[in-house]
Structure 1
Amino acid sequence: MSLDPRPDVLVLDVNETLTDMSALGARLTDVGLSAGQLPAWFAGVLRDGIALTLAGGHAAFAEVAADGLRALLARERPGQDAGPAVRHVLAALPELPVHPDVPDGVRALHATGARLLTLTNGSADTTRAVLDRAGLADLFEAHLDVEGSGGRWKPHPAAYAHALRTAGVPAGSAMLVAVHPWDVDGAARAGLRTAWLRREPGPYPSALHPADVEAEALTDLAHRLTPRTGRPGG
């Protein structure tokens, strides 16, 4: 099924949506942790960053991520100087690979005529580095992070408003594409259309606002956004 009307602007989340963060597991192992601790560490980063936003505070992604690593190292490697280990892990962020579907998917999304932006709770510079390495950065009009929203992490409405201001479009003309249901829910509540990229098995949470469309990969989403011949606007 194609989407009608198609969105003018696609706002793509970055961490886990575009980037394959599993590569960080090797860095955790390097510093005496376990690759299996990666999901809990990253979930903790998101939890603490979002909690700070809700409380009216602010810290950059790298600061929150470093705190989480120091806490893990203090439990697993007490007495170890955490500084070098933290720097070793975080240095891998700009070097992360993208998921296999991303190169063809981003090019296909660009070919639909939609304008592309990224929006991350992380760093726009890191996004640019990752997508430069993948040969995709120039297909996007802008790479945004939440510093442009006063440091308020997604899913705060201000983060999505920052993307809309940058694109110069109303919320209904934009679609957020994300792997995280909480991000989809936040964008929907901010008035954007939404696409849930279903990279992992499991149902979409029933308590959250449903996505307008689900896709297995970016290439699948691009197919849904591509006009069908013989159907004006279809």
Structure 2
Amino acid sequence: MIPLIHDRLPGVLVFDVNETLTDMSPLADRLTDVGLPGHALPAWFAGVLRDGMALTLAGGRATFADVAGDGLRTLLARLAPAVDPEQAVSHVLDVFPRLPVRPDAVEGVRALHAAGHRLLTLTNGSAAGTRAVLDRAGIADCFEALLDVQQAGAWKPAPAAYAHAVRTAGVPAAEAMLVAVHPWDIDGAARAGLATAWVRREPGPYPSTMRPADVTAAGVAALAR
């Protein structure tokens, strides 16, 4: 772990949700259910993020569900043309509010909350879906605000998304830290003035082209420790 300059975490921690807090592997089973290969999950999810970010750059707006649905329809047309696309999209996307929270995230969130940190979430998904996930895990009450990019008017990593989070918390950007698994999210938050913590769940290196995280941890529980 890389030590923080001030040897402590900031008082306000802003958590990414998808893959940082949640285990998205059940989505692979849903893809298989509708005739798509489960191994297509990473590419499909990356495509959702790409298209949502591209819309923000172009000045457009769309919800995560709408962008994700379009990506699924494209895959279905190529790989499972006999499947009803609307039923398939509904079957896959309906699992998002039911995704499990990673055990280390449950432990870490509770520990950070007990230590007096103020916790928020900020997702390119939906705040309602986040609430459903955290409620099922029994940790929703650890968070003071559940935010999404629709409220900000721009997908992460646009500066407006992070500005929305720190504005909600009522603190300067420098007094908040983004906690995320995605290097692009870390880079965006760092450019917006937040401190950053990279949750390194995969063995790959951090991209050299992006601003490095202030602290790196193997999971949320490790970050709390």
TM-score, normalized by the shorter chain, greater than 0.5? yes
Q: 1:80 Cα deviation (Å)?
A: 3.0
- Asked whether the equivalents of residues 118 and 143 of structure 2 are also in contact (C-alpha less than 8 Å), the reply is yes
Answering whether residue 135 of structure 2 is matched by residue 120 of structure 1, we say no
Q: 2:137 aligns with which of 134, 137, 153?
A: 134
Question: Which residue type is aligned with residue 15 of structure 2?
Answer: L
SS across alignment from 2:103: coil
Q: 1:193 aligns with which of 192, 195, 204?
A: 195
Give the Cα separation in 2 of the matches to 1:112 and 1:214: 19
Question: Which residue type is aligned with residue 108 of structure 1?
Answer: A
Q: 2:155 aligns with which of 144, 153, 156?
A: 153
1:207 corresponding residue in structure 2? 209
Identity of aligned residues (%): 72
Which ranges in structure 1 are unaligned for 5 or more consecutive residues? Answer: 224-234
CA RMSD of aligned residues (A): 1.0
Q: 1:109 Cα deviation (Å)?
A: 1.1
Q: 1:22 Cα deviation (Å)?
A: 0.9
Answering whether residue 62 of structure 2 is matched by residue 35 of structure 1, we say no
Give the Cα separation in 1 of the matches to 2:110 and 2:95: 25
2:172 corresponding residue in structure 1? 170
Question: Which residue type is aligned with residue 158 of structure 1?
Answer: A
TM-score (norm. length: structure 1): 0.93
Question: Which residue type is aligned with residue 123 of structure 1?
Answer: S
Question: Which residue type is aligned with residue 92 of structure 1?
Answer: V
Give the Cα separation in 1 of the matches to 2:30 and 2:42: 13
Q: 1:22 aligns with which of 17, 20, 25?
A: 25
- Asked whether the equivalents of residues 34 and 83 of structure 2 are also in contact (C-alpha less than 8 Å), the reply is no
Q: Deviations over 1:76-130 (max 9, x none)?
A: 1124320101000000000000112111110011122110000000000000000
The range that moved more, 56-65 or 1-10, is 1-10
The number of equivalent residue pairs is 222
Q: 2:224 aligns with which of 222, 225, 231?
A: 222
Question: Which residue type is aligned with residue 205 of structure 1?
Answer: P
Q: 1:15 Cα deviation (Å)?
A: 0.4
TM-score (norm. length: structure 2): 0.96
List structure 1 runs of 4+ shifted beyond 2 angstroms.
Answer: 1-6
Q: 2:73 aligns with which of 70, 74, 81?
A: 70
2:108 corresponding residue in structure 1? 105
1:56 corresponding residue in structure 2? 59
Which ranges in structure 2 are unaligned for 5 or more consecutive residues? Answer: none
SS across alignment from 1:101: helix
